[in-house]
Amino acid sequence: MALKIFQSLPLFREMGIPRYPPVGSVCPFNRLLSTASASQALCVAYPSTSVGRCARRQGSSKLQPDTRIRSLTTTIIREPLFVATSSVGLHGDSVPQFRLTQQHRPTADEEQAFLQRLGGCSASRHVFRLLRSVTMMSDNMAAAALHRVADLEQEGNSLKDPSVLEKNVIRALCFQLEQESGYLSDAGLVSALLACTRLFLDPWSTLMVRLVSESQERLDRCQMSVEQLCTLGQAMLAMEGPGCVMLEQVMEEVQKQKPTRWSLTELIAVYKLLQGGVAENGKYRDLLNAMHTHALTVTSQMDPAAVSMLLTALVTLNQTQAMPLVISLCKQAVRHVPHFTDEELTLVLGALMHFGHSDHYFVKVMERYVPTMAFSSHPETVTKVMQFFSRRNILSPIVFDAVAESFVYRADDYSTSQVARHIMAFGKVGYLPPNAGEVFRKVENTLHTRFSHFQPRTLLNLLHSCILVERFPVNFVSKVFSSYFLQQLQEQGTGWDRFVLAQLTQLYMTMKLECPLYEGPKLLPKYHVKSFHMSGRSLEMPVDPHLYNSVKTGLIDLLGARSYFGSRVLTPYCYTLDVEIKLDEDGYVLPASHIDDVYKRIALCIDGQKRFTTNVRQLLGKEAIKQRHLRLLGYEVVQIPYYEFENLQSKTGVVDYLHQKIFPHSYRLSW
């Protein structure tokens, strides 16, 4: 009845809107929608609109009407003309002049030119202007236009400006898609459906029901390509979640085709679909393993976007068993570093940190690239660069100096979290750039002007990182030790984290040892930890067992007995000593169990490879502050670095080395 009314109106005939019979029957509920999980997105419908808005509700598995959603039809129609139907009504003098056509499709060059112009649109109004300028368009062009509007307007789970759905050009485009659904190409159909979900259109609108129904019919024919199946899968995932029956049918069709026969585009599309939540709880493990094997053979063909997307998918899917693929993608990323967008590079760095991988050539190309982008790239990208180098314990003066220089000029552009992560990187590797004075003046200024903007733990991380490189934030520590801040710090997490308490303890210890003029609040004993050494995150790196055993054997030969030195000794100052040797006033070695008449304590720091940066023989910040504090506490610190000890070839050489290190001014006794 509704369609007959539309066909009988001379106004629509004059405007050139084609009259087609209704296509694609509305599929029954058990065919169109399945029972979804409790956390699925729920789109509410209004019975008399074909383009509606989407609301999200938790804990419901059925779609239900919600009369609070305003109909686009009722908000747009301003003349007596009213159509009692679920289709979109168009105002007579505002109908755009374009028409969807399947008979006289635009040429490939025309379509490509349109897509290029569409990609250059920086606002929805520019898209609308472009659509008004064309007279004919293909279904792919129409879907691309809707996708571009979604790109520009989508913000989280809603649109920044929902009124874009009320624009005449959008309504006209949706109306033609609705009427032409049976004549759309497979690619155009599923792309249009996905675009509609990205615009949060009402899933019970005539447009959406027809697109889904038509997609189901095409799916049943088993003639869709892998890429088209993935596009349809993403649309259904957005509408119903992972429990969708139609989505399961899509995955059955995908698995009928072997990954070795897929094109690179199809391979990336399947990864993207699985990443969206389809492969939860270990589903499709065999498919993923086959995809990883195939991806290894085509990595060299991947462009920057593909490398970034695939690495991100591996992170989301937590494919820790796919390290060969991660390594191969990292090698390919070396070629693309200068060509990555800021967002792509951010994702690549995040993925490499997730898998704990870094490549020598990747680091080298980053060292060439970072000085060129530090002043212009997105703040989060620059921050991620610093995180990558510090997480991998890579000290690159080229990178750190370039970022430090840009930080002085761009600090106001950074969020409080980004400022903190910058300084945490310097603290982690224990490095001060040449312009350290300017950098930390900028940090101090940021703390003064935006102190209240810092999250409690972010602020603690920032201040703690400062002391690792001998920068003492005295003016702000007093606020950290206040009862109000400590209460906030506790409330931010789920109770007290031992690592947070360790940071507070070390911060307070630093004030006492290195800032004697500090007279601010004290850290109450109940917040102190007894040891900085703990499982997981720790303010001390445990001693390397192999290196320790070698040194221990040499010490027994040097001192004459195992009883003359202690191992892994916990001091009253929270630090754990790898080896402690006690001397009396005359310089004689005392048994480790001796408590009285100890005149000097020697702390041996047996520093294995993990206590240094990976590319430079420099102690990490947390090891440097430990040795600094031990000296201030009265210990004689003797460092036994791995790169010196490993060069010793004989037992005699080991004993002579240890004697020279520990007792440089005395003769060695022979036992």
Each residue of 420-467: pLDDT tens digit?
999 999 999 999 999 999 999 999 999 999 999 999 999 999 999 999
pLDDT tier for residue 97 given thresholds of 50, 70 and 90: low
In contact, 249 and 31? CB cutoff 8 Å:
no
Q: Which residue has the higher pLDDT, 403 or 484?
A: 403
Q: Which residue has the higher pLDDT, 88 or 378?
A: 378
Angle, helices 206-220 vs 245-255, to 10°: value is 30
Burial of 258 (0-12, 13-18, 19+ CB in 10 A): exposed
Query: Between the CA of residue 385 and those of 304, 393, 405, 412, what are the distances in Å?
Result: 17, 12, 14, 18
Share of the chain above pLDDT 70, in %: 83
- Structure tokens belonging to residue 495: 């109770």
Q: What is the CA radius of gyration of the chain?
A: 33
CATH 3.40.960 domain residues, the chain: 545-663
Q: How far apart are CA 477 and CA 460, in angstroms?
A: 9
pLDDT tier for residue 12 given thresholds of 50, 70 and 90: very low
SS3 of the chain: helix, strand, coil, percent, to 5: 60, 5, 35
Architecture (CATH level 2) of domain 545-663: 3-Layer(aba) Sandwich (3.40)
In contact, 383 and 346? CB cutoff 8 Å:
no
Q: Which of 79, 74, 207, 101 is nearest to 146 (CA)?
A: 207
Judged against a pLDDT cut of 90, whether residue 95 lies above it is answered with no
| Residue 375: per-residue pLDDT | 96
Chain mean pLDDT for the chain: 84
Q: Which of 68, 75, 64 is nearest to 170 (CA)?
A: 75
Q: What is the DSSP letter of 182?
A: G
**Least confident interval from 6-20, 176-190, 548-562:** 6-20
| Residue 45: per-residue pLDDT | 34
